Structure 1
Amino acid sequence: MDKVLGKVKGINISEKKGVVKQPIAEGQFIKEFGLKDDAHAGKWHRQVSLLAQESIDKMTEMGVEGLCSGKFAENITTSGITLHELPVGTLLKIGETIQEVTQIGKECHSGCAIKQAVGQCIMPKEGIFTKVLEGGIIRVGDAISLVASEK
Structure 2
Amino acid sequence: MQPKVIAVSSNGTYSFTKPNRDSITLLAGLGVEGDVHAGVTVKHRSRMAQDPTRPNLRQVHLIHRELFEEVHEAGFEVAPGQLGENVTTTGIDLLALPVGTLLHLGGEAVVEVTGLRNPCLQIDCFQDGLLKQVVGRDDDGHIVRKAGIMSVVRTGGTVRPGDAVGVVLPAEPHRPLDRV
Taking structure 1 as the reference length, the TM-score comes to 0.87
CA distance in 1, matches of 2:157, 2:146: 28
Residues 1:55 and 2:67 aligned together: yes
CA distance in 2, matches of 1:127, 1:35: 17
Change (3 A) 1:122 1:5: farther
Greater strand fraction, Structure 1 or Structure 2: 1
Residues 1:7 and 2:7 aligned together: no
Structure 1 residues without counterparts, runs of 5 or longer: none
**Corresponding residue pairs, total:** 146
Structure 2 residues without counterparts, runs of 5 or longer: 41-55, 136-144, 173-180
CA shift, 1:119, in A, is 4.9
Question: Superposition RMSD on alpha carbons, in Å?
Answer: 2.2
Pick one of 37, 46, 64 that aligns with 2:76.
Answer: 64
Pick one of 12, 17, 23 that aligns with 1:26.
Answer: 23
For residues 24-61 of structure 1, the C-alpha deviation after alignment (integer angstroms, 9 at most, x for no partner) is 01111000011100111111111000000001111111
Pick one of 37, 40, 43 that aligns with 1:40.
Answer: 37
1:1-150 to 2 correspondences below 5 Å: 6-43=3-40, 44-65=56-77, 67-95=78-106, 96-108=108-120, 110-112=121-123, 113-114=125-126, 116-122=128-134, 124-147=145-168
CA shift, 1:17, in A, is 2.2
1:51 counterpart SS class? strand
Larger Rg: 2
What amino acid is aligned across from residue 119 of structure 2 in structure 1?
Answer: E
Change (3 A) 1:19 1:149: closer
Alpha-carbon contact 2:64-2:88 (below 8 Å) kept: yes
CA distance in 2, matches of 1:111, 1:39: 17
CA shift, 1:19, in A, is 2.6
Alpha-carbon contact 1:115-1:121 (below 8 Å) kept: no
Alpha-carbon contact 1:5-1:146 (below 8 Å) kept: no
Taking structure 2 as the reference length, the TM-score comes to 0.73
What amino acid is aligned across from residue 4 of structure 2 in structure 1?
Answer: K
CA distance in 1, matches of 2:131, 2:111: 32
CA distance in 2, matches of 1:72, 1:17: 13
Counting aligned pairs with the same residue, the percent is: 33
Alpha-carbon contact 1:88-1:104 (below 8 Å) kept: no
